[in-house]
Amino acid sequence: MRDVLADWQPVIDEAIAEVLPREIDEQYLTDFFGAPTYSYDPEAIQGALSDPIWDLLDRGGKRWRAVLAVQLFEGFGADPTEYLRYAIIPEILHNGTIIVDDVEDGASKRRGEPALHLEYGVDVALNAGNAMYFLPLKIVTRNSGDLDAETRLDVYEMLMYELNRTHLGQGMDIWWHNKREIQATEAEYCEMGACKTGCIGRIVARLPAIITGQSEETERRVAEYAERMSIAFQIGDDILDIEHTLDQAGEFGKEFGNDIREGKKTLMAIHAAEHAPPDEVARLEEILWAEDNTDGEIMEAIEIYQSAGSIEYARERAEDLARQARESLPREQLDREIAERLAAFTRFVIEREQ
């Protein structure tokens, strides 16, 4: 799967650059957004949109959401190059969400460098992130791939449904973050993940299913595959933060103990709150609630996770979700080789090292 990601990443970036070029000019603005009422300022749009967005994209990221969409298009018998502009939709959306997330979380780093709101200002970061929610709608409007009106409407309605649920998930996450006590249940955490991370995953899967005319049952199953894998990915991401903290952050691109410093109520925190002794739970809540943490406090929180078995439990939960994702694949509707690749990807997302 790593080879597939490496092969497709430059192709994906080129497709994104067709939607949002690295260099903004009057011709692009008029062609993509329509003629100005008075006069565009290409230099301003360059500095406020293209520069920060490409700064983030150039920092890395495997583009796995777009690559997964490409695989599904091919798996359903379509030429993926014909639908590249649709395959990049979830990738654009994902990067928009993390720009906004970093502002809401007060994050200091993203992919090894200062978060965009620290580099360009909160105003520029929020505008750029929000713009990435709407750019994909222009792709549908411009109708690359010559979709019929009914299919385009189905795509619009699907995007609106999933993006609304994405914000439900983010709202739950923010609400928990702003509470001192760890009150969320595991079921609520999984629902948060299904909305916040899973809905972008569902877009990855539903776009190819809708565009290639798959049945509702096939669409449901690939959406379930992508949703469960996305929750497993999120849990795996939380575990990686802990593991790389123990390794002094390694090359993961986040600061030491990032999730603990941000006070995130991860599955490990929720599990520890239910299984650790009350005094340790109180101490964990104190550390997560603190405005800032020493390295010693970060390690103290991790030790609480370890003693409660929370890290291992989270790993088992991620593996179980990955297994459920594999079982959801509609193999009979997919090219055999692609189906095996999609199944292998569920292991990649929880076994990756960064």
Dump pLDDT digits (tens) for 114-172. Answer: 999 999 999 999 999 999 999 999 999 988 778 999 999 999 999 999 999 999 999 99
User: Which CATH superfamily groups domain 1-146?
Assistant: Farnesyl Diphosphate Synthase (1.10.600.10)
Beta strand pairing status for 113-114 and 109-110?
antiparallel
Model pLDDT, residue 273: 97
What's the 3-state SS for the chain? CHHHHHHHHHHHHHHHHHHCCCCCCHHHHHHHHCCCCCCCCHHHHHHHHHHHHHHHHHCCCCCHHHHHHHHHHHHCCCCHHHHHHHHCHHHHHHHHHHHHHHHHHCCCEECCEECHHHHHCHHHHHHHHHHHHHHHHHHHHHCCCCCCHHHHHHHHHHHHHHHHHHHHHHHHHHHHHCCCCCCCCHHHHHHHHHHHCHHHHHHHHHHHHHHCCCCHHHHHHHHHHHHHHHHHHHHHHHHHHHHHHHCCCCCCCCCCCHHHHCCCCCHHHHHHHHHCCHHHHHHHHHHHHCCCCCHHHHHHHHHHHHHCCHHHHHHHHHHHHHHHHHHHCCHHHCCHHHHHHHHHHHHHHHHCCC
CATH 1.10.600.10, applies to 148-354: yes
Entry pTM = 0.91
- What's the CA gap between 129 and 131, in Å, rounded? 5
The residues of the chain scoring below 70 in pLDDT are 247-256, 352-354
What are the start and end residues of each CATH 1.10.600.10 domain in the chain? 1-146, 148-354
The residues, ordered by sequence, that sit 6+ positions from 254 with a Cβ below 8 Å of its Cβ are 109, 241, 244
Model pLDDT, residue 146: 86
- What's the CA gap between 20 and 31, in Å, rounded? 12
pLDDT tens profile 276-299: 999 999 999 999 999 888 889 999
- Residues 298-326, buried b or exposed e (16+ Cβ, 10 A)? bbbbbebbeebebbebbbebbbebbebbb
